[in-house]
Amino acid sequence: MPIFHYFAKSLKGEEKIGTVQAKDKKELSQILKEQGFILIKAAEEGESVRKNKSLNLISFGSEVPLAEKLIFTRNLQVMISSDLALPKALETLALQTKNKKFKNTILDISQEIVKGNNFSDALGKHPQVFSELYQNMVKVGEEAGNLDEVLKILALQLEKENELKSKIKSAMMYPAVIISAMIGIGILMLIMVVPSLAKTFEELEIELPLTTKIVIGLGTSLATNWLFVLLAVILLVFLLSFIPKLKLGKRIMDKLLLKIPVVSALIIKTSSAQTIRALGSLIAAGVPIIRSLKVTSEVLGNIYYKEALLVAMEKVKKGEKLSDALKPYENIFPLVVIQMIKVGEETGKTASILTKLADFFEEEIDYATKNMVSVIEPVLMITIGAAIGFFAISMIQPMYSMLGAI
């Protein structure tokens, strides 16, 4: 009998997300109706659930923020170490969370555990909230009987991941704001100021320089065809957000990011830090190396890092050492990573060495983001100065010509 992932609502507006076995969607609808819920959307497990996000029940509405999952993991670890029953701990945490989607997810997991399912299996029914890395580490904790220790490692993993994302976002925020403001002010000037000056020049019958004609032409076009320009901008934004979702588009974008000066160094350090941190956490939790490589490849964003780990995994399966398997990828993994993995293999301390190496790379990322901002700032100032200078000269030059002719 197929398993359906579903999203339902009660007449009171209460939402419910979960999984249930049913012959078809009609039977699923009837089961939910008996519980006082109306089926909104459903997708059979194994269908294109993961491929089609519109059918993926966890993707309805906003995603669960990483910070929410971090707080949840920390609190759960404390509760379990205090011998509180897992279903009761989950119910308590569900009441504390402000994110409605996350609350429903936690409650559904609690219900699954009460029915007799394992915690890791219940997490596996919500792959868009809890990654494969999270599920595997919890599974290891259940099997080894040290779930609280594994959750402590997971909390550290999520904390470092959250810090890393925050550093990248803060580094990108300044240039993004400056560029947006520059473009906005430029468009306003072209639409509101330039047409008025163009009319004045036309009345005075002044011979205009080429640069002035270019600015006036651009301003007039924007003023008369603003709707077309707006639609073109919306289309461009849509294409830029849609292309990375295609396999070929994702490959091209990831390749470009690894080639752009300054940005490529940051991408390499960030991806290396994510790889090392995830791999180290999994190995520390007791996940076998082959499984750890597979899980780590799933949580990485850059397709070239994913492929490198999957190829390395196949080589490790055949008996090759991980350090040797990663040697062909020195262009994306810094040499220090491969060397330190080799030291870990020789000393039997791979997990602790990877953790220390991840800390090192995260510090490097901190320095890199600060350096990038210090490089971007003068470049932006020069660009803004050049744009303002071009505009000013283009509009003032005809006036000087007019005064010279008097």
Between 138 and 372, name the one with better pLDDT. 138
Q: Answer yes or no: are the C-beta atoms of 32 and 38 closer than 8 Å.
A: yes
Q: Which of these, 129, 139, 136, 131, lies nearest to 17 by C-alpha position?
A: 129
pLDDT above 70 (res 24): yes
Q: How far apart are CA 280 and CA 287, in angstroms?
A: 10
The architecture CATH gives domain 265-362 = Up-down Bundle (1.20)
Radius of gyration of the chain (CA): 28
The CA distance from 73 to 154, in Å, is 7
Q: Residue 231 pLDDT more than 50?
A: yes
Residues of each domain in the chain carrying CATH 1.20.81.30? 265-362
* Most confident among 69-78, 132-141, 284-293, 389-398 (mean pLDDT): 69-78
Q: Is pLDDT above 70 for 61?
A: no
> How many Cβ atoms from other residues are within 10 Å of residue 330's Cβ?
11
Helix (H) / strand (E) element for 40: namely: strand 37-44
Q: How far is CA 330 from CA 151, 174, 272, 339, 342, in A?
A: 33, 32, 11, 11, 14
Neighbour-count burial of 281, counting CB atoms closer than 10 A to its CB (0-12 exposed, 13-18 middle, 19+ buried): buried
Say whether pLDDT at 14 is over 80. no
d(CA 324, CA 342): 8
Percent of the chain residues past pLDDT 70, beyond the cut: 92
Residue 356 token pair: 């220390």
Secondary structure (DSSP) of 361-394: HHHHHHHHHHHHHHHHHHHHHHHHHHHHHHHHHH
* Lowest-confidence pick of 50-59, 75-84, 205-214: 50-59
180 has a pLDDT exceeding 80: yes
- At residue 327 the predicted structure's pLDDT band, cuts being 50, 70 and 90, is very high
The pLDDT, as a whole number, for residue 51 is 37
For residue 52, what pLDDT is reported?
38
What would the pLDDT profile of 143-163 be if each residue is shown by its tens digit? Answer: 778 888 888 888 888 888 888
Report the relative pairing of strands 3-10 and 37-44 from DSSP bridges.
antiparallel
The stretch 44-63 carries a mean pLDDT of 43
Six-digit token string for 41: 């959307």
Q: How far apart are CA 343 and CA 52, in angstroms?
A: 43
Cα separation, 294 vs 352, whole angstroms: 20
Alpha carbon distance 284, 292 (integer Å): 10
Tokens of 36: 């006082």
Torsion, Cα of 336, 341, 342, 345 (10° steps) = 160
Burial class, 235, CB count within 10 angstroms (exposed 0-12 / middle 13-18 / buried 19+): exposed
Sheet containing strand 37-44, edge to edge, reads 15-21, 3-10, 37-44
The pLDDT tens digits of the residues spanning 103-132 come to 999 999 999 898 888 898 899 888 888 887
Taking alpha carbons only, the member of 338, 253, 243, 262 closest to residue 304 is: 253
